[in-house]
């Protein structure tokens, strides 16, 4: 009956093609090709969107948690170390060095975007900190506000690329470390390109390991050129001041990137 | 392989298409959120530390 119908309209019933070994192999290879292309798209683009947004979201959650808790007692006011004539400043509380993977702060850089707020944890291993948390603190680092070098590392490409715009920093851009205690503001000074073995960038006086530090600085390290292992890009900043949580966010944040 | 998969799906073509799209979305989600983050460290370099 059906065959007759088909013949009437001039169609011969098609035989269902049998799946052969080669046809299955071909489809598997095509699938593998699509998977590889998807991975590249994820690595170069989609993954950064996802992980970057997740980082900022987690950073914001930490910030909200700290804001919800009763603000800690502000530290004592001390003489301004740069200028004794100037009004006194808050003595920055020095926190304990965090364990590997332990989030103790978030980093805010208005130049990287108004919603940029990436968690900061101890250690610079990729598995524990850099790939999972965002920014990592070197084991030999000082803590924010402490005399010496607060040194951190972060991805410039892939894994949410928190330091992607590190080479777009401009003189005096704010680099703010938010902790439960309050906000530590650093001001960007300069960039440097070094080889991966130049650990002296982490010294208390960057580049001069033998010197005794007099002031607090921050060092950010990331890869350079992008997607390469050949060199490292280093950003330096100097400590400007500490704002206790009870006083609200500092001017370095509220003024935004100028 | 995929032809056989299409045939075992129930319903008219638009129901099958809907099922395929939902399954594809689920596969993409699993890849982007779990599989690729897990394999990436074994595939791509990304050293950012000085040591």
Q: What is the pLDDT of residues A151-194, one digit of tens each?
A: 999 999 989 999 999 999 999 999 999 999 999 999 999 999 99
In this prediction, residue A208 carries a pLDDT of 94
Task: Kindly state whether residue A169 falls inside one of the protein's structural domains.
Answer: yes
Task: Kindly state whether residue A151 falls inside one of the protein's structural domains.
Answer: yes
Count of structural domains, chain A:
1
Task: Kindly state whether residue B34 falls inside one of the protein's structural domains.
Answer: yes
What is the distance in angstroms between the Cα of B33 and the nearest Cα belonging to chain A? 8
- CATH number for the domain harbouring residue A76: 2.40.260.10
Q: How far apart are the first and last CA of chain B?
A: 50
> Does residue A209 sit at the B interface (CB-CB below 8 Å)?
no
Task: Kindly state whether residue A29 falls inside one of the protein's structural domains.
Answer: no
- pLDDT over threshold 60, residue B2: yes
- Check CB contact under 8 Å for A196 and B3: no
pLDDT in tens, A246-256: 999 999 999 87
Strand partners, A178: A106, A183
Instruction: Give the C-alpha distances (Å, rounded to integers) separating A222 from A12, A42, A166, A167.
Output: 66, 21, 8, 10
Count of structural domains, chain B:
1
The A residues from 116 to 135 touching B (CB cutoff 8 Å) are 124, 126-127, 130-131
Q: Which residue in the set A23, A42, A234 is minimally distant from B36, CB to CB?
A: A42
Chain A residues whose beta carbon lies within 8 Å of the beta carbon of residue B44 = 43, 158
For CA atoms B41, B42, B47, B51, the dihedral sign is positive
What ipTM describes this predicted complex?
0.91
Cα–Cα distance for residue pair A182/A204, rounded to 1 Å = 23
- pLDDT over threshold 90, residue B43: no
- Show the 3-state SS of B1-51: CHHHHHHHCCCCHHHHHHHHHHHHHHHHHHHHHHHHHHHHHHHCCCCCCCC
For CA atoms A131, A132, A138, A141, the dihedral sign is positive
Residues of chain A short of pLDDT 70, as ranges, are: 1-16
Q: Characterise A4 by phi-psi region: left (phi > 0), alpha (psi -120 to 50), beta (else).
A: alpha
Q: Which residue in the set B32, B37, B47 is minimally distant from A223, CB to CB?
A: B47
Q: Which residue in the set B32, B41, B47 is minimally distant from A46, CB to CB?
A: B32
- Check CB contact under 8 Å for B48 and A39: no
Task: Kindly state whether residue A140 falls inside one of the protein's structural domains.
Answer: yes
Question: What tokens does A217 get?
Answer: 């600085």
Residue A110's domain spans which residues? 43-254
Task: Kindly state whether residue B27 falls inside one of the protein's structural domains.
Answer: yes
Task: Kindly state whether residue B8 falls inside one of the protein's structural domains.
Answer: yes
Share of chain B above pLDDT 90, in %: 69
Q: Which residue in the set B33, B37, B48 is minimally distant from A154, CB to CB?
A: B48
The answer to whether residues A91 and A75 touch, using CB atoms and an 8 Å cutoff, is yes
In this prediction, residue A8 carries a pLDDT of 59
Task: Kindly state whether residue B22 falls inside one of the protein's structural domains.
Answer: yes
Task: Kindly state whether residue B29 falls inside one of the protein's structural domains.
Answer: yes
- pLDDT over threshold 80, residue B51: no
The answer to whether residues A176 and A239 touch, using CB atoms and an 8 Å cutoff, is no
Residue B31's domain spans which residues? 2-38
Task: Kindly state whether residue A3 falls inside one of the protein's structural domains.
Answer: no
Task: Kindly state whether residue B45 falls inside one of the protein's structural domains.
Answer: no
User: Phi and psi of A84, rounded to 5°?
Assistant: -60, -20
The answer to whether residues A75 and A179 touch, using CB atoms and an 8 Å cutoff, is no
Question: What tokens does A164 get?
Answer: 């992607």
Question: What tokens does A169 get?
Answer: 């920093």
């Amino acid at each position: 009956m059906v065959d007759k119908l088909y013949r009437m309209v001039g169609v011969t019933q098609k035989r269902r093609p049998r799946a052969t070994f080669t046809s299955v192999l071909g489809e598997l290879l095509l699938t593998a090709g699509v998977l590889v292309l998807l991975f590249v798209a994820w690595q170069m683009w989609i993954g950064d969107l996802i992980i970057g947004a997740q980082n900022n979201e987690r950073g914001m959650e930490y910030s909200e948690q700290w804001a919800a808790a009763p603000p800690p007692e502000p530290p004592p006011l001390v003489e301004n170390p740069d200028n004794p004539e100037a009004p006194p400043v808050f003595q920055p509380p020095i926190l304990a060095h965090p364990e590997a993977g332990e989030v103790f702060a978030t980093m805010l850089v208005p130049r990287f975007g108004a919603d940029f707020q990436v968690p900061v944890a101890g250690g610079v291993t990729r598995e524990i900190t850099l790939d999972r948390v965002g920014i990592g603190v070197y084991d030999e680092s000082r803590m924010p506000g402490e005399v010496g070098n607060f040194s951190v590392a972060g991805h410039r490409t892939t894994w949410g690329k928190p330091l992607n715009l590190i080479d777009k920093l401009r003189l005096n851009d704010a680099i703010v470390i938010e902790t439960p205690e309050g906000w530590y503001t650093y001001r960007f000074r300069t960039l440097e390109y070094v080889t991966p073995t130049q650990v002296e960038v982490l010294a208390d006086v960057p580049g001069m390991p033998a010197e005794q530090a007099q002031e607090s600085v921050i060092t950010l390290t990331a890869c350079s050129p992008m997607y390469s292992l050949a060199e490292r890009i280093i950003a330096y900043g100097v400590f400007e001041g500490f704002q206790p949580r009870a006083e609200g966010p500092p001017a370095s944040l509220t003024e935004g990137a100028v | 392989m995929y032809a056989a998969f299409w045939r075992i799906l129930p319903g008219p073509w638009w129901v099958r298409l809907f099922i395929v799209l939902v399954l594809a979305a689920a596969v993409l989600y699993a890849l982007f959120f779990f599989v690729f983050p897990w394999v990436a460290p074994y595939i791509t370099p990304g050293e950012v530390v000085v040591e």
